[in-house]
Amino acid sequence: MACAASCSMAAATTAASRVNQLSARKATAVAPAAAASPAAARRVRSGRANTVQVCAAAVQKPWKTSDCRLVLEDGSVWPGQSFGAKGTVVGEVVFNTSLTGYQEILTDPSYAGQFVLFTCPEIGNVGINAEDMESASDLGKVHMGGMLVRHLSLNVSNYRSISTLPDYLEKQNVIGISEIDTRAITQRLRNKGCLNGVITTDATKTDADLVAMAKDWTIVGKDMISEVTCKAPYEWSAETDEEWEWAANAKVKTTPAGTYHVVAYDFGIKSNIMRRLATFGCRITVVPATMPAAEVLAMNPDGILFSNGPGDPSAVPYAVQNAKDVLGKVPVFGICMGHQVLGQAFGGKTFKMKFGHHGGNHPVRNLKGTVEISAQNHNFAVDPATLPAEVQISHINLNDGTCAGMMYPAMKAMTIQYHPEASPGPHDSDPSFEDFVKMMADHKK
């Protein structure tokens, strides 16, 4: 009790001292006003200190204020803080639910023409490294139009980091915006579907002008593949580094390097797709998306890969025709955009989804009845109702029941809508590469 009373008295003494100091400061602040103005004197006498006008010198804020806007085609405006490049850019806004791998997402050519909103609340904490670039044909290039994040990490901590995220985006001339409500925007995209948007650091542009710019743009009907494909053929033989290898068959090298020659149509191919093929014994020749099928077949491949890529699959009839021309001649494997191109070559049609699949946590059930947690990135899908009866639906997305894979045994063709190479993402679907290798081995017998 004595201790409590002593503490109470000490607290009271301290509080009284603080009040006296505050009163003294207030008196000092209002004294000149009282001397200069009877009204001010009356305010002081009445004790209404809250009405005293104190003019402080202008002080530069030590933190960055809002200097950037995201304006969506529905008229909503989201002010935030810019990082990376400056300017104005338009694109389709999609959200990605991956918790890791923002660098791989940045450099994935499949995101050309899009702004990626990350639902993970903090981005940039591991910086940028030289090993995780996924843009194979133009190493290190960022293909997405803009980066949307809730919070940009102030610190970078990773033993492989060679650059901060803002510095990297500035060199790549890509705009980023942070301190926006990514949860609210994600909910808006889920309810309304993908929306076009404009990111700008230009304060002279009105919101109405930016809304009009967003409404005038569309990714539907655009051939984005031609913007990301390689200009000339090249060879690839690099495998997955030993320290990152996880597949048992790859570790014991059941198939010697270079056993199978795969020609890969580059629709925006990711580096890790080729690393995985090379790891399972393939030598890869990457060719431009427009190379005629006859020239590809003249290379005498054991198999042909139709890779991932951006944009509308119905806008690339040349790719569909090439796929038709090789079907049945050698085994073929389609990934993501390649899946959609082959779906059309089979005789089916594609459609645009409401908000697509973007992230590393999408469940897919295969014909064996097992479930794979997959990495996905696509806004279009194959309509299974338009496919011929000979085509089997081999994989189904368990979130919405869409077609996630096909098998066409008579044509020696297999496809998956998602990314078996992950990067980033889980490794559940990696056996797809082994399935393709087995198909080529059976074909050579």
Q: Residue 86 corresponds to which amino acid?
A: K
Beta strands in 274-412 (DSSP E): 282-288, 303-306, 332-335, 349-366, 371-383, 392-397, 403-408
Decide if 441 contacts 434 (C-beta within 8 A): no
CA distance 400 to 411: 28
Taking alpha carbons only, the member of 301, 390, 394, 285 closest to residue 339 is 394
Active site residue 362: no
User: What's the distance, Cα to Cα, between the start and end of the chain in Å?
Assistant: 94
Long-range contacts of 9-14 (CB under 8 A, 24+ apart): none
Active site residue 419: yes
CA distance 216 to 24: 63
CB atoms within 10 A of CB 349: 14
CA distance 236 to 278: 8
Catalytic residue among 92, 362, 419, 434: 419
Residue 320 token pair: 């569909």
Active site residue 194: no
SS (H, E, C) 34-48: HHHCHHHHHHHHHCC
CA distance 411 to 356: 29
Catalytic residue among 134, 336, 339, 403: 336
DSSP assignment of 177-226 equals EESS-HHHHHHHHHHH--EEEEEE--TTS-HHHHHHHHHH---TT---HH
Catalytic residues: 336, 419, 421
